Structure 1
Amino acid sequence: MAKNYYEITLALAGICQSARLVQQLAHQGHCDSDALHVSLNSVIDLNPGSTAGVYGGSEANLKLGLETLLGVLNASSRQGPGAELTRYTLSLMVLERKLAASKGAMDTLGERIAGLQRQLEHFDLESDTLLNAMAGIYVDVISPLGPRIQVTGSPAVLQSPQIQAKVRATLLAGIRSAVLWHQVGGGRLQLMFSRNRLSTQARQILAHC
């Protein structure tokens, strides 16, 4: 069956968007608020009508992720900001595979996300309550699967409990996109052998944004 590179690229951009937001939060203490909202919301919408539907139904909602994806695909340096983004992206993919292999973790994740949906009736998506709840899911369900993602940035920024919660909630969103990526036919080999095709697709989608 032919791979749907449009859907694969969108989901991959979702992973990269989370990676970029984590990087922004860790270094600066703030991030692109619109992109953050889209990524966090993707965790809670469990029955989207399409791949784009996971991200609010608009390709433009993944602009930051698509730009980051192009940077990751074309990164030549093994150091600096680009290497950090690549490491976060690949680490999220590794964790998702461990999650997929653990039925217990998958079941717990589903139950905990259903709990988030109930909390949304009383609190905003980006309230401390919801962010802490998402961070808690990441710490309790995803982190123990290992290996842990080492987030690098400003030590002063990363000491803030609020930033820590946002970073973990954003990593949970990255796992959501990694799950989606596999569901639509994504795989690690594409990053090695289909980079040009993914780059072309990402540029085409960005041209519409």
Structure 2
Amino acid sequence: MKDRVIALAGLLQAIRLVQQMANNGQSETRPMAACMDSLFRFDADSAEDIYGGVAGVETGLRRLIAQLDGSDRDTTQTRIAMNLLQLERRFIASPQVVEALRRDLDAIQPERAQLGSTHPTILAKLGDLYANRISPLGARVLVQGNPVYLSQASVVGEVRAALLAALRAAVLWRQVGGSYWDFLWSRRTMAETARELLG
């Protein structure tokens, strides 16, 4: 359950970043770094390691609790999350795309190691990967926000980079045994686990 909760927290954190950039043109640096770093950690031992520890998904854990217990539920986040879980199915069903994306990320890795995951150049390249590899799969994820920011190429690139990180979290969730049944039968357990992780 712990790994599933961390994966869902990663998903909601990335979606939160998408919303921040779409509405305000910028996002929180630390949560963004954790989400972008997750794209390059292919062989981590646990979900926690993928995000550099529980602190990496603190924002996402708080959002997950709010979504599960209804204290501050965001229906837009729910809609985007469901769209991404559908997109994940199409992604996994396309092994050529999975392999191509892995090669692309490997190619970016040296520059990312030098500049950092949240450098504008890296975010732009990750955004291009989403546009070129993921968008053609269909299951379009509709992002609404301030037209002033969504008309800026740099912001659109960062939004797409965050969507790529959200897709990575959705893939992780399936890999650690997540299913739609969790939302029906395990909501309370997931919320309790999230609270324990926050300590």
Shared fold, TM over 0.5: yes
Q: CA deviation at 1:122?
A: 4.3
Aligned mate of 2:156, from 147, 161, 164: 164
Q: Distance in 1 between matches of 2:58 and 2:171?
A: 20
Matched residue SS, 1:48: coil
- TM normalised by structure 1 equals 0.90
Aligned mate of 1:55, from 36, 41, 51: 51
Matched residue SS, 1:120: helix
Which piece of structure 1 moves more, 12-21 or 196-205? 196-205
Unaligned runs of 5+ in 2: none
Note the alpha carbon deviations across 1:80-107, whole angstroms, 9 max, x for none. Answer: x811111111111111111111111111
1:82-93 equivalences under 5 Å are: 82-93=74-85
Aligned mate of 1:108, from 91, 96, 100: 100
Residue equivalent to 1:203 = 195
Matched residue SS, 1:140: helix
Q: CA deviation at 1:196?
A: 1.2
Unaligned runs of 5+ in 1: none
Query: Is 1:21 aligned to residue 17 of structure 2?
Result: yes
Matched residue SS, 1:125: coil
Query: Is 1:193 aligned to residue 185 of structure 2?
Result: yes
Aligned mate of 1:39, from 35, 40, 60: 35
Corresponding pairs, count: 199
Residue equivalent to 2:120 = 128
Residue equivalent to 2:69 = 74
Note the alpha carbon deviations across 1:163-209, whole angstroms, 9 max, x for none. Answer: 11110001100111111111111112211221111111111112x2x
- TM normalised by structure 2 equals 0.94
Q: CA deviation at 1:64?
A: 0.5
